[in-house]
Structure 1
Amino acid sequence: METKDTVFLVVMVLSSFLLSFQWLRRFTYRPENPFIDPLIILSIMILAGTLSLMLISINNKLQDFEDTIEARDRSLRVNMESSETKIEERMNELSSKVDNAVYEFNRRKYH
């Protein structure tokens, strides 16, 4: 996991804490309870943390998939260039054989 992913994870968890705390304080303020329902706040923090970890995991899988596709693309490109070279060599060889055969045919025809 990269440093920026860790920073984003921490920011998401802290912002979920602040959001849930302020939201609960605004709508369910009870002066006798200074810690406004910590279970809800903890649940939201866990939800934000797992969501951010899931997003990081998906990002890593997509990156691996992209790397695999690029490797296959490079491999196909090399194979195509190799095939092109072989075909070109065979065509040159065949062309020289045909030229030699035509030359021999013309030589025999006129002598």
Structure 2
Amino acid sequence: METRDTVFLVVMVLSSFLLSFEWLRRFAYKSTNPLIILSVMVLVGTLAVMLISVNNRLQELENKMEAKDRTLKVNMESTETNIEERMNELSSKIDNAVYEFNRRKYH
């Protein structure tokens, strides 16, 4: 987990604490009711961890796709080189065959 993710997690939990504390005080609940405040903090904390987990999973998938993309590019380049070599060989053979055919025809 990156430092940025940790900072966001702490900010989310602290802001949920302040929000729930002020919200409960507004409705004349006992402002020190720790169960409601704790449950809101846990809810927001787990939401933040879930978002971080999804972000990490997406990053892993992106890395895998980039690796496969690089592999495909290398394979395409090597295939292109092989096809070009074979085409050159075939072109040489055809040129030689035409030359031999013309030589035999006119001699």
Q: 1:27 maps to what in 2?
A: 27
Any stretches of 5+ residues in structure 2 without a counterpart? Answer: none
Q: CA deviation at 1:48?
A: 0.6
Give me the TM-score of the superposition, normalised by structure 2. Answer: 0.97
Instruction: State the partner residue of 2:57.
Output: 61
How is 1:61-100 mapped onto 2 (pairs within 5 angstroms)?
A: 61-100=57-96
1:3-56 alpha-carbon deviations (Å, 9 max, x no partner): 000000000000000000000000124xxx451x11000000000100000000
2:10 — aligned with what?
A: 10
CA distance in 1, matches of 2:59, 2:5: 14
Structure 2 match to 1:43: 39
- TM-score, length of structure 1 as denominator length: 0.94
Q: Is structure 2 residue 102 aligned with structure 1 residue 106?
A: yes
Structure 1 counterpart of 2:102, one-letter code: N
Note closer, same or farther for the CA distance 1:63–1:34 as it changes in structure 2 (3 Å cut): closer
Q: SS of the residue aligned with 1:101?
A: helix
- Structure 1 segments of 4 or more deviating over 4 A? none
Q: Percent identity?
A: 77
Deviations 1:52-110 (A, max 9, x none): 00000000000000000000010011000000000000000000000000000000100
**CA root-mean-square deviation:** 0.9
1:105 & 1:7 partners in 2: Cα distance? 80
